[in-house]
Chains A and B, each alone.
Chain A
Amino acid sequence: MSTISLGRHAQLAALPSHLCVFHESYAELRARQRDFLGLALNDRNEGALLFGAPGLPEQQMRDLEVDLGRSLDDDVRIGKLVLIHSDPDPDVCLERYRGALEALDQRGYAPVRAIGRCTWSLPGFPLPEDQLWLELRVGELIESSRAILLCAYDLATLPASAVVYGGFEAHSQIVLAGQLIDNPSFIGSDRYFVDRLLHLPWLAAS
């Protein structure tokens, strides 16, 4: 099994990996993305991917440019850095992830470092129940790739149900305060669909 560093002086994670990273402000996420994606953008072989509601990946890219001290336009032009937008349809989101990973692979970029920002009830993003379905399916997509995906969960803005059902139950490992830790609350994909997604409390009466 190969491994990949989560940042300068950071721990190694298995490749591929689908991880959850908790943060409490955009500034904290920005520092994490600089450390994590900066490694890819400063390495000729690696690729980088940003996923989020329309406008968010562009904002993150602009902040990366400031933090890395250079324009990333060429990285986008040659397909080394890919920005993908969410869609209310979770299957469209999944297809966009799949297409971006395949394109990066075909251009010879490996491994791929990706950050996806979880939002809950935001326009342009799948509804909460579909967001959880997307977590499940993206996790399986990543398993067959050469990518490491950090799903960013903002503790300051997301409700407990999003953090517990999405962050904790859909990721086998968690990055917390820079530490990569095994997650005992993780539910494997088969059980997650049957035991969690088919019985979400807010859908029980629908």
Chain B
Amino acid sequence: MDGELAAAVIDALGTQVVVVDRSGDIVWVSAAWREASGRCAADPLATAEIGSNLIRLLAATKQPSAEATAAGIAAVAGGGRPRSVGKLSTADASTQWLIIARELPVPDRGAVVTRSDTDSGYPAPPPGAADANELRDAIASLSPRELEVLRLMTRGLDNRAIAANLGIAYTTVRTHARSLIEKLGARSRLDAVARAYRSGVGSTR
């Protein structure tokens, strides 16, 4: 496969890729990377075009995770490590990316760096989301004990810790937890906790 065809395949897959040389200078950018850079105004790598240095751009963000990512890319591009994985975010952490650098299979040629948005791979949201009134009614339908269990769940406690806190059996807590998850129409433990938290039930302190 020639280089032009390989580039076309990468673009067709929509993968965000740059290729850097041994010093971290960008020598190739995929269309998906360019497109993604234009989508987020606060993208720290928006200026990562051919000729710029990816390692310096990451280090300039002054984020510890980006600086670690830069060091990892430098190690891979310099031939000291086969792979590195890092994280980058906007200054307000509202958008995050996973950055993976892999050594090119040709000696002394640098690294290929891919970037993935965390929001491109979210699990499907829970179906049948309740509106605020339905949720209030569901919470009102909980027994006093279920409500106590739910309040402790919103503090992140597991069933054994909740049992110790309330002085009741672990299996009793497990039954209450499963029952309240169902009554809230939640699909999971944390879905129930998130719904309850947004409704003002419980405290994280």
Contact = CB atoms under 8 A, between A and B. Distances in A.
Contacts, number: 127
A129 interface: yes
A95 interface: yes
Contacts of A128: 123
Contacts of A206: 125-126, 129-130, 186, 191, 194-195
Interface string A119-150: 01100001111101100110000000000000
B66 to A, nearest CB: 9
Contact of B188 (A130, A167, A181, A201): A130
Interface residues of A, number: 49
Interface stretch (A39-47, A55-63, A109-117, A153-161): A153-161
A203 B64 contact: no
B85 A201 contact: no
A163 interface: yes
Contacts of A31: none
Contacts of A36: none
A133 B84 contact: no
Contacts of B84: 176-177
Interface string A177-206: 101010111000000011001111111111
Contact of B158 (A120, A137, A176): A137
A205 B82 contact: no
Interface in A76-99: 89-91, 94-95, 98
Contact of B97 (A90, A126, A160, A181): A160
Interface stretch (B40-48, B53-61, B111-119): B111-119
A162 interface: yes
Contacts of A91: 158-159, 174, 177, 189
A130 B190 contact: yes
B87 A164 contact: yes
B192 to A, nearest CB: 9
B28 interface: no
A197 B156 contact: yes
Interface of A: 22, 24, 89-91, 94-95, 98, 120-121, 126-130, 132-133, 136-137, 155, 159-165, 167-168, 174, 176-177, 179, 181, 183-185, 193-194, 197-206
7 contacts: A91-B174, A164-B96, A177-B83, A197-B156, A202-B123, A203-B191, A206-B186
Given A129-B194, A130-B190, A181-B68, 14 more contacts: A90-B188, A94-B158, A127-B187, A129-B123, A163-B85, A164-B118, A165-B118, A168-B65, A177-B84, A184-B67, A197-B156, A200-B190, A201-B122, A203-B194
Interface of B: 64-65, 67-68, 72, 81-85, 87, 96-98, 100, 116-126, 129-130, 156, 158-160, 174, 177-178, 186-191, 193-195, 197, 204
